[in-house]
Amino acid sequence: GENVEQHPSTLSVQEGDSAVIKCTYSDSASNYFPWYKQELGKRPQLIIDIRSNVGEKKDQRIAVTLNKTAKHFSLHITETQPEDSAVYFCAASRQAGTALIFGKGTTLSVSS
Amino acid sequence: ETGVTQTPRHLVMGMTNKKSLKCEQHLGHNAMYWYKQSAKKPLELMFVYNFKEQTENNSVPSRFSPECPNSSHLFLHLHTLQPEDSALYLCASRYLAGEGNEQFFGPGTRLTVL
């Protein structure tokens, strides 16, 4: 089955800096790669996703890149703000019909 | 958010008790999942139901028993649990169509086993 590795487990940045979180996956048939943000005491929520036919996707300060050959994808947050502090999870799924398999999460702390 | 709801939100039970967790989705989705969230394994997939049929059981102990009576409801029946089963249990749902669709989570049930 699919296995998703995520690094780093913790990340501390200063407000305004950029943050990068990286994930690798094992199943070459995976074609959907979402990122979730979980704030303390709340449920995980989707912030951005990318499909296998796209190499990069941006949404304001957030971007995701995908390298299918190397089987890795990354989340980039620019101009970080304190409200970006949360746990971020990457995930992968093979196709519609299979559940998302998540990485172990990255705790991002943005200090002002 | 009311798309995916879970009850109860908090549950404390002894090792000999039997209890059930309930999940309901109001999004017209056709796949539902149970995840266990703990410090050791942050989002661990437990069970998968596609079109009400269980398609995956990720080596979950038999003291956890899922039930999916229809595409909107999912239960997790608990019996003779262990203290290490204390965790946040998250339900999620998704619409199976095309190449990947957003998976929505419920708020979770915080379970404590004494």
Per-residue confidence in pLDDT tens, chain B, 114 aa: 579 999 999 999 998 899 999 999 999 999 999 999 998 778 999 999 988 777 777 789 999 999 999 999 999 999 999 999 999 999 999 988 766 678 999 999 999 999
HSE on the CB side for A61, CA within 13 Å? 12
pLDDT in tens, B65-96: 999 999 999 999 999 999 999 999 999 999 88
pLDDT in tens, A56-73: 999 999 999 999 999 999
Q: Which one of B2, B25, B43 makes the best mutation probe of the A interface by having the most chain A beta carbons within 10 Å?
A: B43
For chain A, positions 81-110, list CB contacts with chain B under 8 A: 87, 89, 91, 93, 95-102, 104-105
Show residues of chain B in contact with A46, CB under 8 Å.
102-104
Which pLDDT does position B39 carry in this prediction? Answer: 83
Six token digits for residue B25: 């989705």
Closest among B9, B12, B5 to B74, alpha carbons compared: B5
Residue with tokens 């699919």: A2
CB burial of A61-77 (b: ≥16 within 10 Å; e: otherwise) equals: ebbbbbeeeeebbbbbb
Of B1, B35, B101, the CB nearest to A96: B101
Show residues of chain A in contact with B31, CB under 8 Å.
97, 99
Closest among A31, A22, A14, A36 to A81, alpha carbons compared: A14
